[in-house]
Chain A
Amino acid sequence: MKTGYTADIGLEVHAELQTKSKMFCACPIVDLTQAEPNTAVCPVCAGMPGSLPVVNQQAVMAGLRVALSLECEVMGTSQFARKNYFYPDLPKGYQISQYEYPLAITGHLPVRTDEGWINVRIRRVHLEEDTAKLTHIQAPNGESHSLVDLNRAGIPLLEIVSEPDMHTINQVRAYTRSLRTLLQYLGVNSGDLEKGVIRFEANVSLRPVGCPDLGTRVEIKNLNSFRIMTGAIAYELERQSILLDAGGVVQQETLGWDEANQVTLSQRSKEEAHDYRYFPEPDLPPLVITPGMMSEARENLPERPDRRFRRYVTDFGLDAYQADLLTDEKAVADFFELTLTSMAQPDPTLGANWILGELFGWMNLSGQSIEEIPVSPRSLAGLLDHLQGNVINAATAKIVFNEMLQTGKEASEIIRDEHLQQVTDQDDLEKLVKRVLTDHPEQVSAFQNGKTGLYHWFFGRVMQESGGRADPIVIRKILDENLKV
C-alpha cells in the first residue's frame, strides 16, 4: 500500500458460544468436525412447522459476560428479530438475530500492538443463531451437490461489531488475538479457529492522510480464519490504493474472498443489496436483563487479560515478553498467581522463570496442558520455598521438579526420601573441600601458578562429592579461603 492513505478497518466477529444446548432449542452443541452430520437436530432447529424457539438463558449470560468485559452499556430490554432470506443453509427461511435492539452497545477493548496500546471501540454486541453448514461437493459423474448439516443450525453466536478503529493489518491481528483471548478467559469460546468457532466480516476503506472523513467502504463477508481475514484485508487495501492512485472511485459493495485466486470478488453492489425485511420476532418476548442477571454475570467476571498484563509489568516487574506469555492463557496466569500466593515469600520473577522455563518445557515435551499436569500451584510453591530457603539448590530443584511432574509427589517428600537436602554445615563442607584439595595437589599448584580457570573445576569436584547437595555459596566461601586467591 502507498503511504498516502490512512486505512480504516472495522471487524464483525461472530463467536460461537459454547453453551450446553443451542440458542433456541435443547439440542446439544457437537463438534462439527467430529459428529455425524444432522444428528444434533430437533423440530425447532430444523424449522419444522409448528415448532417455536425458546431463548437459552446460558447463552444470554455468556453474552452478558462478554458485553460487561468489553465495558459495554447493557440494554435492559433487547429484542430478537427475524432476518429474512431464502437460502438452503437457513431452515426457517429467516435467521433469528438481534437487530434494532442489541444486547449491548458502546464498549471498548484496549489492544497491545508492537507500536503500543490502541483502543478499539465496540459498536454493539448481539445474540443470534448460526446457520446450517453447507458443503459443496463434486460427484464422480461431474454433478455438483450441496450437502446441508443442520448440526450447526441454531448454535448460539455472539456478534461483536467494532468501530473502524484499526488502521493496519498488525492492529487487526492484535485486536482479534486480544478478543479471542478475552473470549477464552470468559470460558465462552474455545478459540479453536480450525473448527470455525470464530468467523469474521471486515469493512475496509481508505482516505488520504489527514483527511478527516472516512472513505467509501466495502464489506468483506465469510472470512473464516485469521489467515483468510488478514489476507483478504491486505488484498483489499492494496486494491483500493491502486484504484485511488489511478484516480478511480471505490464502489460501496459486499465482497467475498476467493481463496483459490487470493482475490476479493464482488457479491453484490449497494443497489442490489439484500433486503432482509427485518421485523421483531413475534415468537419471542423482548429479552429483559434483570438486575439479578447483571450481578450474576458480574460476579464471576475474570480480570481482563490486558489488565492482567499491565499488572504483571507494573506490580510484578516482569518484562513484556514474560507478561505476554503468562497472560495469553487464563489457566497459565491463574497457575502463576496461585503459585505466588502459595509461596512463603512470593517472588514473581522466580515464579515466572520456573513456569515459563521448566514447566513450559515439560508441557512441550509431554504434550500435557496446564490443567493436565500433576503438579498444583501449591506444590510448585512448595518446591520454590525449599529453593528460597536454601534447603536445596537450583540444580537439585530442577531434578526434584522433574520427579514431581512425573510422579505427582510433593517436593518435601522427594527431598526427604532421597536425602537431597542441601549441605550447608560449615565444618562438613570444610572437610570436603580440604579432602578435594589434598587429593589433587597438581591442580592446586597449577591454580596457584595462575591457571585460575581451575576454580570451577574444584567447585564441580566438591559438588560432585556432596552428591550435588552442597550449598554453592558456602563452597565458594571455603574454596576462596583455602585457595587464597
Chain B
Amino acid sequence: MRLQQRKTNSKSRRFLVNRMPDLTQLTISEALTGLRSRDFSSQELTAAYIQRIEELDPKIHAFITLTPELAFEKAGIADQMLAAEDRELPPLLGLPIAVKDVLCLANVRCTCGSKILENFIPPYTASSVSRLLDAGVVPLGKTNTDEFAMGSSTENSAYGPTRNPWNFEHVPGGSSGGSAAAVAGGMAPAALGTDTGGSVRQPCAFCGTTGIKPTYGRVSRYGLIAYGSSLDTAGVIARNAADTALLFQHMAGFDPLDATSVNTPVPTYQLPDSPDLHGLRIGVPDEYFLQGIQPEVESFVKAAVTQLESQGAVPVPISLPYTEYALPVYYIIAPAEASANLARYDGVRFGPRLGTEEGLQEMFKQTRGQLFGSEVKRRIMLGTYALSAGYYEAFYGKAQKVRTLIKEDFIRAFEDVDVIAAPVAPTTAFKFGQHSDDPLAMYLEDIFTLPANLAGIPGLAFPVGYDKNGLPIGMQLMAPPFKEDLLFRVGHAYQLATEWHNKKPSLPTMDNQLK
C-alpha cells in the first residue's frame, strides 16, 4: 500500500500532509486501517480534512461552525490511545466526521440554520452523536442546513446557502445539504444528517453521496432539535454503503432518553464480498415513475434496477396507491408538530432576544418575528391552522388517517418484495433561486422521499448515474422497519459491481490547481 512510505518521515505535520497521498480521499475502512497500523495519525488525518475545508469551504459553505480545537483535542487523545496499543480500542477511534447543525454537541453552538439560535450553546450532546464520540470519532464541525431542517436546498439557511460541489450554480439539496456537500467535496469522510421528509436522501441524490434514513425509533432523537417529532430521524451520509453502515452501526440503538426509540437489538452489519443478489425481490412502484420526472432520472434508476437484476435480483412491479397523498399529509403533520416544537423559541431561556425595552409581549413578537425565517413562519402558520378548533378533524385528524393508509401500502408491498427501489427526487440538483418564489414547486422535490418518513421505514440513497450536465442521479431502496442491514447489503452489492459512487467532482483545490 502506498501509504506505507509516509511512516519514514515525521518532521512536521504540515510537511507530512503535503507529502502524503491525499488522506481525504480514503474510505472510512481504509482510514481506520491506516490509523490502526499507524501509517498516519488521527491528528494528521484531521489536519488533512481541516486543510481541505479551509481551501474549499469558502466556496462551498458546507459548514456553519468549525471545531478545529475540539477536533485536534480528540484526535490527540485518539493518537495517545492508538500509541498505547490497547486491545480494546473504540471501533472508530480517530475518525473525523461532520455533524449537521441540528444535532447538539455539548459546548458547541447549535444554530439549526436559524438566527433564533445564533448563540445557543447546548450543555448536552445528542445521544446519536455521543454514541459516535464514544466510538472514537473526531468532530470537525457543524454543517449547514435549511432553517430548522425545513427545506430542500439549504437556501433557507439564515447563514447562506451551501453550493453543490458538482456545480456551484446548483443547490446541494436539503435540508442536510451541508453534510452531503461536505462529504461530496471531500471535506469529511462522513457526516451526520437528519431526515424528516427526505433531508438525508435528497441531498445524497443531489451530491452523489450514499446515505441512510433509518427506521423511526432506530436512532435516538434525544438532542436532535425537533422539527416534525413523529418523522424526525438521524442518519449518516458517506461516500459508499460500506462506510455508511460502519458509522451507522455505532449510532443506532435503544436510548432510555427517547421514549420513541425502540429496544430492538442492532445486528452487526455483515456486508457481502460478492455482488450476488440471487433471490432478492425488488419492488418497483409504478407511482414513482408516472409523474413528470426528469427523463434521465427515470432511465438511470431503471438502469440501476436492471443492474441489480443482472446480479440476480428479481424486479417485481408493485403499486403503492396512496403515494400521491404523501405530500399533503406530510405538509399537515410536519408543520403541525413544528408549530408546537417551535413555540419554545421566545428569547427567554436561550437564543438572542429583541425588543426587551418594550415589554414582554413585544419582546416575544420581535424575537420571533425577526429571527425566524419566512419558510419557518409559513410552516408554523400552516401547522397552527391545521390544529385549530374546527379544522383539526378536517386536516390533522384526516392526515393521520391517510398516514395509516400510506403505512399499510408498504406493509402490503413488503409481503411480496424484500426492498423497494425508486428515484430519490424527480429531478437532479436544481439551480439556486429556481423554486424560491414557489414553495409548492419546492415541496414537490420531496414527493418520493416523504412516504418513507410517514411510514417510518428505512431508506438508503446512493448514486446510480449522472445527467447530461454531470449532476448526480440518486436511487433509494426502502425496506421494512429495522431492515437497515438488508439495505446496506444490497447497496454494497450494487457498489461492488458499479463505479458511480467513486466518481468525484472536480474541485479547485491546491492539488487540482497544481495539475
Q: How far is the CB of B508 from chain A (nearest CB, A)?
A: 36
A43: which B residues are within 8 A, CB to CB? Answer: 122-124
| CB pair A49 B344 closer than 8 Å | yes
**Known contacts being A50-B223, A275-B389, is A55 close to B344, with CB within 8 Å?**
no
Judge whether A154 is part of the interface by a CB distance below 8 angstroms.
no
Judge whether A347 is part of the interface by a CB distance below 8 angstroms.
no
| CB pair A84 B256 closer than 8 Å | no
Q: Which residue of B122, B225, B344, B392 is within 8 Å of A92 (Cβ)? A: B344
B344: which A residues are within 8 A, CB to CB? Answer: 47, 49, 91-93
Contact with A along B70-92 (1 / 0, CB 8 A): 00000000000000000000000
Judge whether A86 is part of the interface by a CB distance below 8 angstroms.
yes
Q: How far is the CA of A466 from the CA of B103 in the complex (A)?
A: 88
| CB pair A50 B256 closer than 8 Å | no
* Interface window among B48-56, B299-307, B335-343: B335-343
Q: How far is the CA of A222 from the CA of B308 in the complex (A)?
A: 66
Contact with A along B242-273 (1 / 0, CB 8 A): 00000000000000111110000000000000
| CB pair B259 A92 closer than 8 Å | no
**Known contacts being A86-B364, A284-B259, is A93 close to B340, with CB within 8 Å?**
yes
Judge whether A277 is part of the interface by a CB distance below 8 angstroms.
yes
Judge whether A46 is part of the interface by a CB distance below 8 angstroms.
yes
A92: which B residues are within 8 A, CB to CB? Answer: 340, 343-344
**Known contacts being A49-B117, A50-B225, A93-B340, is A283 close to B388, with CB within 8 Å?**
no
Contact with B along A34-49 (1 / 0, CB 8 A): 0000000001001111
Judge whether A214 is part of the interface by a CB distance below 8 angstroms.
no
| CB pair A54 B256 closer than 8 Å | yes
Q: Which residue of A50, A55, A275, A282 is within 8 Å of B230 (Cβ)? A: A282
Contact with B along A252-268 (1 / 0, CB 8 A): 00000000000000000
Q: Which residue of B225, B257, B360, B387 is within 8 Å of A88 (Cβ)? A: B360
Residues of chain A from 36 to 77 with CB closer than 8 A to chain B in the complex: 43, 46-55
Judge whether A312 is part of the interface by a CB distance below 8 angstroms.
no
Judge whether B311 is part of the interface by a CB distance below 8 angstroms.
no
Q: Which residue of A54, A93, A146 is within 8 Å of B343 (Cβ)? A: A93
Judge whether A285 is part of the interface by a CB distance below 8 angstroms.
yes
- Secondary structure of the B contact surface, majority rule: loop
Judge whether B448 is part of the interface by a CB distance below 8 angstroms.
no
Q: How far is the CA of A43 from the CA of B339 in the complex (A)?
A: 20
| CB pair A275 B126 closer than 8 Å | no
Q: How far is the CB of B280 from chain A (nearest CB, A)?
A: 33
Contact with B along A172-198 (1 / 0, CB 8 A): 000000000000000000000000000
| CB pair B348 A283 closer than 8 Å | no
Q: How far is the CB of B493 from chain A (nearest CB, A)?
A: 35
Residues of chain B from 349 to 368 with CB closer than 8 A to chain A in the complex: 349-350, 360, 364
| CB pair A93 B346 closer than 8 Å | yes
| CB pair A50 B226 closer than 8 Å | yes
Judge whether A279 is part of the interface by a CB distance below 8 angstroms.
yes
B340: which A residues are within 8 A, CB to CB? Answer: 82, 84, 92-94, 277, 279
| CB pair A279 B392 closer than 8 Å | yes
Judge whether B473 is part of the interface by a CB distance below 8 angstroms.
no
| CB pair A49 B221 closer than 8 Å | no
Residue of B nearest to A283 (CB): B229
Judge whether B222 is part of the interface by a CB distance below 8 angstroms.
yes
B225: which A residues are within 8 A, CB to CB? Answer: 49-50
**Known contacts being A49-B225, A92-B343, is A55 close to B337, with CB within 8 Å?**
no
Q: How far is the CA of A237 from the CA of B224 in the complex (A)?
A: 52
Residues of chain B from 107 to 125 with CB closer than 8 A to chain A in the complex: 110, 112, 117, 120, 122-124
B226: which A residues are within 8 A, CB to CB? Answer: 49-50, 283
| CB pair A48 B349 closer than 8 Å | yes
Q: How far is the CA of A231 from the CA of B310 in the complex (A)?
A: 83
Residues of chain B from 404 to 427 with CB closer than 8 A to chain A in the complex: none
Judge whether B104 is part of the interface by a CB distance below 8 angstroms.
yes
Q: Which residue of B122, B259, B339 is within 8 Å of A54 (Cβ)? A: B259
Binding site for A on B (CB under 8 A): 103-104, 110, 112, 117, 120, 122-124, 126, 221-226, 228-230, 256-260, 336-337, 339-340, 342-346, 348-350, 360, 364, 384, 387-389, 392, 396
What are the nearest 3 A-B pairs in CB distance?
A93-B343, A282-B230, A277-B387
Residue contacts A-B, CB under 8 angstroms, 25 given = A43-B122, A46-B349, A49-B110, A49-B122, A50-B222, A50-B223, A51-B124, A53-B259, A54-B257, A54-B259, A55-B259, A84-B343, A86-B364, A88-B360, A93-B340, A93-B344, A275-B388, A277-B387, A277-B392, A278-B387, A279-B387, A279-B396, A282-B228, A282-B260, A284-B259
Other contacts beyond A282-B260, A283-B226: 8, CB < 8 A? A43-B123, A49-B225, A53-B259, A88-B360, A93-B343, A277-B389, A282-B228, A284-B259
Binding site for B on A (CB under 8 A): 43, 46-55, 82, 84, 86, 88, 91-94, 146, 275, 277-279, 282-285
